Every structure is written in structure tokens, then in C-alpha cells.
């Protein structure tokens, strides 16, 4: 370390020499002629054992010191952990002092047989272990406040916590939020001379933007404003999903225009909500005597598919619009196939298993929220924004997987689809 003193280099040759000399001494000790030299051989065996133990402790001390030096020397983390920083400084000074002494006498035997050196190194290691434990406890306290920090390594989390710039979080967003790339930060002027950095949106890996309804201030501790940002993401997602649901029902315009007006996730959720409502409305029509209601609804779904396919055939769409429409098309084909099966199998009632076993989305007016039902399972929608994540083609197998997992969760069990 050029400006921080010296460290031990590779010790492979020293270890090899120790091993060779130890074997030579053992061979001598086994000789029938060792008598006059036994005490000398035993003295050297003890010396080599001491050297080996000191070097082992020395390398362990250096390894721990190098790790903590990168954290406590010159980093903002010192302000967060002043007591641990002071303890490390004492150990740091002692270690560098010994390394400076070592640089003046490079004989291994002389350096390693100084009385009490191994015990001194073990004491310094113990002090570094306590610093490491305090550091781990500190990181765990931050992870308790914002659990998604558990997706980051200690080094990554320390880099974030030790930075005074909120933008340090940007390169790690993808590890904490599925398919999200970064925040959008803007500068907000509080007074003519004072300004602050605020998070105003999430940007997905496809560069789709979800605006926050309320700006999130990045002042204060990063784990605290990240909790606020997570809650704001869900609130904004819920607002946009609700708006998409109500816009579809109240505005008289083509469905394809409605699809292009909202982010992909909100459209998918609203589309599923309206499909569920429309199917249950068809069941009501059938009970009222309209026997062809399901066939007419099947024709409506086919027309909707044609509209989406026609729009995708044009050249005026952006890449993200095409991805969104492709995802909607995947879901639309699946729900069309479900209704086609209902027509073939004469499913006439909402209480039949063929309908109960479908993944059904409801906007529950009393709760003002989205709930997802499947058989006995009922789940509150999570509003986790994931950009234009796409959808796998839905097959009977994936339908069975959804059913298996929702029923397992409803019984407080789990599932791990491969």
C-alpha cells in the first residue's frame, strides 16, 4: 500500500522452506546418531513451529485489516460508526507500526521469533473481529428497516451507506427491484439558494417510465427514504391501475387507444379485471335467458384480437408499445381460448369449477383495491411495478401451476415451480 505503509507479499516460498526444513529436522530426530544434537534439533523444531504460527496469524490479521481498511479509511462510513472507527484507528496504527519495523529487518526468523508477537497479532485479530461484528450489526439494522438491502452484498451496501450522494443507489436498483433500471432524480428548488434532490419516477430496463404521484425527498438516511420510495411506487401503481380500470369503462373510444395510454403492468391488470367482470356479466345474461351470450362474447374477444393484430401491423408504434401489445395479445389469446372452451363445454354458471379455477381479478369497491381469486385462494394485489416484463405463452400446464401455487399459499404452504 503505497501511501499507507507496507503489507506482506506472497509467502509461498517461505511456507515451502518451512515445510522442507521441518521434514529435514524430523528426519534428523529419527536418526540413531541424534544424541549429541537432540537439544539443538528440538530448539529448531520449536522455532520453525513458532514461525509457522506467527506467519499464519500475521496473514489472517492482514486479511482482516485490508478488508476493514477499505471501509474505515477515508470513507463516509466513519461518520456512521465513530466508535468502531476509533477502535480501528488504534489497531491500524499498531499494524502499520509493526509493518514499518518489519521493513527494516527482512529476516523471517528475526521478525517471527520476537517474544509475544503471535499473542500481539491474535489480540489485534480479536479487535478486528469486534469491529467486523459491529459493522455486521450495523448493516443488519439497515436491512431490518429496508429488507431489500438483503439482496446486496456487504460491500455493495457499505458503498451505498457510505456515500453522501443518493445517486449511489442507482447501480444496485436492478438487484432490489425486478426488471427496474433506476430512479429518475430531479433537482427541486426550495428557495432561491437552496435545492434538494428528489426521486420522481422509476425507469424500467425497457426505459418505460412510471411517474410517482408524490415526489420522494432523498434527504436523510437512505434506508428511510427507500422505504418511502417503495411505498410511493405501490401507491402510484395502484392509482394508475385504478385509473386504467375506470377509463376503460367510462371513455367511449377504441380499446387499442386505451392500451397505448397506460404502462404495460396497469393495462394487464385492468384488462384482467374487465375480462373477469365481462365473463360474470355473460353468466348473468345466460341466467336471464340469453342462451347465445357466451358465443357473442367469444366473437367480441376475436374482434379485439383482430384490432390488436391490425395495430401491431402498422409502423407508427414505438418498441415499447410493441412489447406492450405483444404481452396484451398473449393474455388475450389465452382468455379467448378459455371462453372458446366454455362455449364447447356449455359452461353456463359462475359457480362451475371451470370458472372458479381460473385466475380472476376483481376491483373490490368496498375495499377500493384489486383482489385475485382462484378457487379457495384470495390474494391482495401487490402493485409491484416491474416494467414491460413480458409474459410466457400461457398453456394448460402454466394454468395448473397457477392453481397449484394459489391453493398451496391459501393453506399457508409454499411452492417452487422449476
Residue pLDDT, tens place only, 237-292: 999 999 999 999 887 889 999 999 999 999 999 999 999 999 999 999 999 999 89
pLDDT digits (tens, 9 = 90+) for 94-145: 999 989 888 888 888 888 888 888 999 999 999 999 999 999 999 999 999 9
Name the percent of the chain in helix, strand, coil, to the closest 5: 65, 10, 25
Residue 30 pLDDT:
74
| CATH topology match: 147-236 vs 253-410 | no
Q: What is the DSSP string of 181-200?
A: EEEEEEEEESSSS-EEEEEE
Question: Does residue 159 surpass a pLDDT of 80?
Answer: yes
Provide φ and ψ at 262, rounded to 5°. -130, 165
253-410: CATH number: 1.20.58.1120
The answer to whether 188 and 195 are in contact (CB under 8 A) is yes
pLDDT, tens only, 198-238: 999 999 999 999 999 999 999 999 999 999 999 999 999 99
Question: Between these two residues, 76 and 164, which has the higher pLDDT value?
Answer: 164
CB atoms within 10 A of CB 290: 12
Return d(Cα 42, Cα 110) in angstroms, integer: 18
Return the CATH number of 147-236, one of 3.40.50.10800, 3.40.50.620, 3.20.180.20, 3.20.20.220: 3.20.180.20
**Cβ atoms 261, 243 nearer than 8 A:** no
> In this structure, are residues 148 and 194 in contact, taking their beta carbons and an 8 Å threshold?
no
Residue 3 has pLDDT above 80, yes or no: no
| Position 19 confidence tier, pLDDT thresholds 50, 70, 90 | confident
**What separation in angstroms does the CA of 264 have from each of 58, 169, 296?**
58, 25, 28
Are the CB atoms for 264 and 327 separated by under 8 Å?
Answer: yes
Domain ranges of the chain: 12-145, 147-236, 253-410
Selected residue with higher pLDDT from 137 and 390: 137
Radius of gyration of the chain (CA): 34
Q: Which residues share a beta bridge with 188?
A: 196
The pLDDT score that the predictor gives to residue 46 is 83
Residue 45 pLDDT level (bands cut at 50, 70, 90): confident
pLDDT at position 416 is 80
Q: Report the C-alpha gap between 293 and 279 in whole angstroms.
A: 10
Please say if the pLDDT value at position 388 is more than 70.
Answer: yes
Per-chain mean pLDDT for the chain: 91
The two beta strands, 360-364 and 209-217, are unpaired
**pLDDT for res 180:** 96
- Is pLDDT at 2 greater than 70 in this prediction? no
Burial 98-134 (b: 16+ CB within 10 A, else e): bbeebeeeeebeebbeeeebbebbeebbebbeebbee
Q: Rounded to 5 degrees, what are φ and ψ at 61?
A: -60, -45
Q: What is the pLDDT of residue 102?
A: 85
Q: How many CA atoms lie within 13 A of 365 on its CB side?
A: 2
Query: Are 311 and 293 a contacting pair, CB within 8 Å?
Result: no
The yes-or-no verdict on residue 39 having pLDDT over 90 is no
What share of the chain has pLDDT > 90, as a percent?
67
| Topology classification of domain 12-145 | Butyryl-CoA Dehydrogenase, subunit A; domain 3 (1.20.140)
Q: Identify the three-state secondary structure at position 69.
A: helix
- The predicted structure's pLDDT at residue 173: 97
- At 1 the pLDDT is 42
Provide the whole-model pTM.
0.82
pLDDT at 80 over 60: yes
Q: Is the pLDDT of residue 394 over 80?
A: yes
Amino acid at each position: 500500500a503505497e501511501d499507507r505503509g507496507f503489507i506482506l507479499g506472497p509467502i509461498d516460498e517461505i511456507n515451502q522452506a518451512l515445510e522442507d526444513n521441518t521434514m529435514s529436522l524430523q528426519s534428523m530426530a529419527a536418526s540413531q546418531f541424534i544424541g549429541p544434537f537432540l537439544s539443538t534439533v528440538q530448539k529448531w523444531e520449536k522455532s520453525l513451529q513458532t514461525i509457522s504460527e506467527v506467519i499464519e496469524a500475521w496473514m489472517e490479521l492482514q486479511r482482516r485489516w485490508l478488508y476493514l481498511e477499505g471501509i474505515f479509511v477515508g470513507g463516509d462510513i466513519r461518520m456512521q460508526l465513530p466508535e468502531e472507527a476509533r477502535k480501528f484507528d488504534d489497531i491500524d496504527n499498531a499494524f502499520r507500526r509493526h509493518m514499518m519495523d518489519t521493513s527494516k529487518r527482512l529476516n523471517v526468523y528475526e521478525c517471527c521469533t520476537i517474544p509475544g508477537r503471535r499473542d500481539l497479532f491474535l489480540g489485534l485479530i480479536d479487535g478486528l473481529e469486534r469491529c467486523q461484528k459491529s459493522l455486521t450489526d450495523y448493516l443488519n439494522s439497515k436491512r431490518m428497516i429496508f429488507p431489500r438491502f438483503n439482496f446486496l452484498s456487504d460491500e455493495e451496501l457499505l458503498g451505498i451507506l457510505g456515500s453522501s450522494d443518493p445517486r449511489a443507489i442507482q447501480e444496485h436498483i436492478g438487484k432490489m427491484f425486478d426488471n427496474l433500471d433506476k430512479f429518475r432524480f430531479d433537482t427541486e428548488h426550495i428557495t432561491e439558494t437552496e435545492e434538494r434532490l428528489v426521486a420522481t419516477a422509476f425507469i424500467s430496463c425497457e426505459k418505460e417510465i412510471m411517474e410517482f404521484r408524490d415526489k420522494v425527498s432523498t434527504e436523510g438516511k437512505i434506508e428511510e427514504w427507500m422505504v418511502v420510495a417503495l411505498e410511493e411506487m405501490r401507491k402510484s401503481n395502484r392509482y394508475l391501475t385504478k385509473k386504467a380500470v375506470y377509463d376503460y369503462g367510462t371513455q367511449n373510444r377504441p380499446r387499442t387507444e386505451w392500451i397505448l395510454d397506460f404502462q404495460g403492468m396497469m393495462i394487464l391488470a385492468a384488462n384482467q379485471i374487465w375480462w373477469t367482470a365481462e365473463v360474470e356479466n355473460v353468466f348473468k345474461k345466460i341466467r336471464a335467458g340469453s342462451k347465445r351470450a357466451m358465443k357473442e362474447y367469444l366473437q367480441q374477444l376475436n374482434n379485439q384480437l383482430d384490432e390488436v393484430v391490425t395495430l401491431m401491423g402498422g409502423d407508427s408504434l414505438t418498441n415499447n408499445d410493441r412489447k406492450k401489445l405483444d404481452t396484451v395479445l398473449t393474455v388475450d389469446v389465452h382468455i379467448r381460448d378459455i371462453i372458446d372452451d366454455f362455449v364447447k363445454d356449455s359452461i353456463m354458471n359462475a359457480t362451475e369449477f371451470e370458472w372458479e379455477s381460473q385466475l380472476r381479478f376483481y376491483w373490490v369497491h368496498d375495499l377500493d383495491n384489486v383482489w385475485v381469486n382462484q378457487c379457495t385462494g384470495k390474494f391482495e394485489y401487490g402493485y409491484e411495478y416491474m416494467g414491460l416484463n413480458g409474459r410466457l405463452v400461457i398453456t394448460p400446464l402454466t394454468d395448473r401451476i397457477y392453481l397449484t401455487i394459489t391453493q398451496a399459499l391459501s393453506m399457508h404452504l409454499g411452492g417452487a415451480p422449476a
